[in-house]
């Protein structure tokens, strides 16, 4: 038997992504700005207390960084919407 001219079977390759990373990308950080801010305030209180084990400290710090980025992004998005409503110029708020 001569198998020289037969094509070599190949296995289709799938992209190398972890399922947890894919799930994390699909899951929002928080349901709303207010929920994120509330959770962030709780995390700051826990971190300030200084009673967390090192592993929990790192995990909660990382979660806090995610929440902070989420809040900043939401604030920036709202600011951009206000600029659109104000004709491209963000006007200062009048203090009562």
Arithmetic mean of pLDDT, 54-70 = 95
In this prediction the pTM is 0.62
Structure token digits, residue 25: 């990308």
What are the pLDDT digits (tens) for 67-79?
Answer: 999 999 999 999 8
Query: Of 64-68, 71-75, 89-93, which range is least confident?
Result: 89-93
Does residue 66 carry a pLDDT above 60? yes
Domain boundaries, the chain: 30-85
HSE-up (13 A, CA, CB side) for residue 6: 6
Angle formed by the axes of helices 54-85 and 33-49, to 10°? 150
Give residue for tokens 């894919």: 22
Alpha-carbon distance of 4 to 7, in angstroms, equals 8
- Measured in whole angstroms, how far is the alpha carbon of residue 26 from the centre of its chain? 10
Terminal Cα-to-Cα distance of the chain (whole angstroms): 92
Architecture of the domain spanning 30-85: Orthogonal Bundle (1.10)
Does residue 6 carry a pLDDT above 60? no
């Amino acid at each position: 038997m001569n198998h020289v001219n037969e094509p070599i079977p190949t296995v289709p390759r799938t992209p190398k992504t972890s399922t947890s990373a894919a799930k994390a990308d699909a899951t929002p950080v928080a349901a709303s700005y207010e929920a994120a801010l509330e959770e962030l305030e709780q995390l700051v209180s826990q971190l300030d207390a200084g009673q967390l084990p090192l592993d929990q400290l790192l995990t909660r710090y990382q979660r806090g960084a995610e929440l902070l980025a989420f809040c900043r992004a939401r604030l920036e998005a709202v600011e951009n919407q206000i600029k659109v409503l104000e004709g491209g110029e963000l006007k200062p708020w009048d203090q009562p």
